[in-house]
Amino acid sequence: AQSVTQPDIHITVSEGASLELRCNYSYGATPYLFWYVQSPGQGLQLLLKYFSGDTLVQGIKGFEAEFKRSQSSFNLRKPSVHWSDAAEYFCAVTNNNDMRFGAGTRLTVKP
Amino acid sequence: DTGVSQDPRHKITKRGQNVTFRCDPISEHNRLYWYRQTLGQGPEFLTYFQNEAQLEKSRLLSDRFSAERPKGSFSTLEIQRTEQGDSAMYLCASRVPGSSYNEQFFGPGTRLTVL
């Protein structure tokens, strides 16, 4: 069965510092992988997606993610965090039907 | 606005009452999904439709939960005899047919509070 693990429940970074959010997945075939961001009380906004091709994918708001099949990982990165990036981040995998989400990583940005 | 819309955004009800939520997907998106999100967790898949056909409903949480999409456009999610444990955010998403990435577009959610 497909599953997603986000090992970090909460991360705090200083504004301007780099960021990496971890995501590990378990899936029997080539997965469709996603990162979504959710602000308090809001729905989910798609940051980026991966299915095939270049393993380094670029998304919106300056985010990127790298697919590493050997590590079953799809970590999200940003070189310089802005205060507006404070939110909850979810990694997800789908098999064309339902989408499985990780438990999320809450990002706090210090001034 | 051409995104996924959900109504109401907030619902407060007393235990034992029935509630119904509505989701309007992005126009021409033939797949529609319902998720539940509890505090501190990621969304949990409940059910999905392709046009008016409900293709997966075994993941609905109990027989108190039901969903419809009678004309293949908007959908409703009903919870009968609500319990305090039903308090959560209920999210709807839709997907464009033939998308190579299977990405889903989410609505703002309906937050349910059961007193």
- Please judge whether A42 and B40 are an interchain contact, meaning their C-beta atoms are less than 8 angstroms apart: no
Tokens at A18, concatenated = 């780099």
Per-residue pLDDT tens listing for chain B (115 residues): 579 999 999 999 999 999 999 999 998 889 999 999 998 899 999 999 999 999 888 788 889 999 999 988 999 999 999 999 999 999 999 988 777 667 889 999 999 999 9
Chain A residues whose CB is inside 8 A of the B4 CB are 43
- Establish whether the linkage from the previous residue to B8 is cis, with ω within 30° of 0: yes
Nearest to B56 among A43, A98, A103 (CB): A98
The whole-angstrom separation of Cα B31 and Cα B104 is: 9
∠ CA(B61), CA(B92), CA(B95), 5° rounding?
120
The minimal CB distance from A32 to the residues B44, B48, B102 is found for: B102
pLDDT tens digits along A28-70: 777 889 999 999 878 899 999 998 888 999 999 999 999 999 9
- Read off φ and ψ for residue A62, nearest 5 degrees: 80, 10
Best mutation target among B6, B103, B111, B113 (most A Cβ atoms within 10 Å) is B103
